[in-house]
Structure 1
Amino acid sequence: MTDGAPSWLDALRWKLGMGPDEPKSDAPDTPAEVVPWKRAALPESGWRVSWLGHAAFLLEGCGRRILIDPVFSDHCAPLPFKSMKRLAPPPCPLAEIGRVDAVLLTHTHYDHLDLPTLRRIGPEVEFVVPDGHADWLRKKGFPKTREQEWFSSDELFPGIRVTATPVQHFTARTPFDRGRGICCGWRVEGGGASLWHAGDSGYGPLFKVIGERLGPVDFGMIPIGAYAPRWFMEPVHMTPEEAAVVFAETKCRRAVGMHWGTFRLTDEPLGEPPIRLAETGTDGFFTGKVGESWRVD
């Protein structure tokens, strides 16, 4: 578990409005725009990266389709709580994606690890999780699960290598299993290009280390949302301004902002993160629409 991660008592204080006052924003409280995603032939070279909402991405390249943190359910919670309802729908039915070769999971929070979605994908797929979670996922019916420690690298398929990268976050499914294992991001290399999904994280010195050890990266996926109130979220979620620093420190050539506009997890308006990111003036770091794809060559 990350040092300084908010406690359940802190969470109760937040929900009861007992924390410090923070400035109010007049940004639009609108979900991310959604455009239909349509399956196409796998690219003959490089990768096609598609945003499926929140932290979910489809990576297509080297003859493979890899999903990261797929969530196709209507809620990101153990029960269909109204507050956890999906506000930006998936850009396509899960079946439209076609054959999935592997799933990379960053941690076990419900907005990143959705068991109903994983069961629809099927147990025959390769699952890769951060250290400490493989036994749990195998018991849930996914026997082809393996785990990696931070900075460990493994050949996922011939010509495709994945490396687990550190994050500043924590993992839990219930009040009783915090710290079961680590959380991570994923670097994917193959087809002459490198991709990096940063996972879920607060800002910290670890990103400079990632850049020094693994940079540069051709295309990044970096979280920019779920950051308010800062007294509660600062240890585990970064602001758009901090994400812009991460973009530079990890030596990304291009990156898309994620982890915003799909679920109402925190207090900032849903449409605020892309506005604040644009105000940083960071060339090459942009936001898109759910269902949008980008070529990485």
Structure 2
Amino acid sequence: MAEVGLRFVGHSTVRIELADRVVLTDPVLTRRVSALTRVAGTCTAADRARVDLVLLSHLHGDHLHLPSLRLLGPGVRVVVPRGAGGWLRRKGIRRVEELAPGEELVEGGLRVTGVPAEHSGHRWGPRSTRGPQAVAMGHLVTGAGVTVYAAGDTDLFPGMADLPDIDVALLPVWGWGPTLGPGHLTPARAARAVELLAPRVTVPVHWGTLALAGLTRAPGRAGARMRRLLVDPPHEFAAAVARLGLDTRVAVTPPGCDVELPELAPDSPA
């Protein structure tokens, strides 16, 4: 799959190089995100260099992170779920466009299609009624004969099996805390998503990057559990995919590293 380059920057942030364009998903590029601390390696200038397009899946602060967006500079095209563009412009992000599930946009040789997600779209979470709100979504990024599915935050949703052929799926397999709320995929449910999507390659994301400050050093069972959850989810996911006998390659990649993609000819089996 020489036409596409991927780097798992961390959490839900993936750098996609495809069709002479650089796309960044849900950029989180700083050491801190509110009460969360980055426990993976520091982001580099190369992670944010020459970015043409930013795709934001929803408004939560660990996905739409204003300090990280400001690091990218004013000329970067930022795509936000429909209904949140005005709010983002008032925060000083200049070049903002909106997209909804079922809509498309073009960036050079890339076509980006919005797809549904099963997740809260409110800035402050599912129980708040104040502040900006827009429907959470994922994205299909297609160019040079390759389609990458960036799921954002989601649980299984109706129609997941109906998405078009996917070469690489970026699937969340955990989060940043010791538990998961609604609208997330566990490793086992992410394996079920692979069964529905049938991608050629799957990259587990949304793990191993952020944690509540101090929790990783906490004594006793709480600290031990958090330390385990920073490491185990992608491997549990890969094992679940193997148990299901699914025809996909799982590319477990540590945060801050390039994804090793197989050399696959078009339409060849994974």
TM over 0.5: yes
Q: Residue in 1 aligned with 2:221?
A: none
Equivalent in 70, 76, 80 of residue 129 of structure 1: 80
Matched-pair contact (CA < 8 Å) for 2:9–2:47:
no
Amino acid at match of 2:92: G
Q: Does 1:169 align with 2:95?
A: no
Q: Residue in 2 aligned with 1:184?
A: 137
Q: Residue in 2 aligned with 1:98?
A: 49
Q: Residue in 1 aligned with 2:219?
A: none
Matched residues in 2 for 1:286 and 1:125: separation?
29
Equivalent in 3, 14, 20 of residue 57 of structure 1: 14
Higher relative contact order (CA 8 A, sep 6+): 1
Matched residues in 2 for 1:126 and 1:97: separation?
13
Matched-pair contact (CA < 8 Å) for 1:215–1:252:
no
Q: Residue in 2 aligned with 1:284?
A: 249
Matched residues in 2 for 1:276 and 1:74: separation?
27
Equivalent in 37, 41, 44 of residue 85 of structure 1: 37
Q: Report sequence identity in percent.
A: 32
Matched residues in 2 for 1:228 and 1:263: separation?
8
From the two aligned structures, give the one with the greater strand fraction: 2
Matched-pair contact (CA < 8 Å) for 1:227–1:237:
no
Partner deviation per Cα, 1:119-144 (whole Å, 9 max, x = no partner): 11012111111111111111112222
Matched residues in 1 for 2:253 and 2:14: separation?
12
Q: Does 1:216 align with 2:165?
A: yes
Greater mean alpha carbon deviation, residues 265-274 or residues 117-126: 265-274
Q: 1:274 to 1:146 in 2, by over 3 A?
A: same
Greater mean alpha carbon deviation, residues 169-178 or residues 183-192: 169-178
Q: Residue in 2 aligned with 1:254?
A: 201
Q: Point out where structure 1 has 5 or more consecutive residues left out of the alignment.
A: 1-42
Q: 1:131 to 1:294 in 2, by over 3 A?
A: farther
The 5-angstrom pairing of residues 1-297 of structure 1 reads 46-77=3-34, 81=35, 84-90=36-42, 92-94=43-45, 97-155=48-106, 157-174=107-124, 175-177=128-130, 180-208=133-161, 212=162, 214-226=163-175, 233=181, 235-264=182-211, 269-280=229-240, 281=242, 282=246, 283-290=248-255, 291-295=257-261
Matched residues in 1 for 2:5 and 2:76: separation?
20
Partner deviation per Cα, 1:10-63 (whole Å, 9 max, x = no partner): xxxxxxxxxxxxxxxxxxxxxxxxxxxxxxxxx9x6110110011100011211
Matched-pair contact (CA < 8 Å) for 2:177–2:211:
no
Matched residues in 1 for 2:196 and 2:86: separation?
34
Q: 1:238 to 1:93 in 2, by over 3 A?
A: same
Q: Paired residues, what number?
A: 241
Secondary structure of 1:279's aligned partner: helix
Matched residues in 2 for 1:275 and 1:68: separation?
23
Amino acid at match of 1:220: A
How far the C-alpha of 1:153 sits from its partner, in A, is 1.5
Partner deviation per Cα, 1:128-186 (whole Å, 9 max, x = no partner): 1111111111111222211111121121x232100111111113334453661111111
Q: 1:260 to 1:96 in 2, by over 3 A?
A: closer
Amino acid at match of 2:41: P
Amino acid at match of 1:89: G
How far the C-alpha of 1:206 sits from its partner, in A, is 3.8
Q: Please, what is the CA RMSD of the aligned residues?
A: 2.5
Structure-2-length-normalised TM-score: 0.81
Secondary structure of 1:135's aligned partner: helix
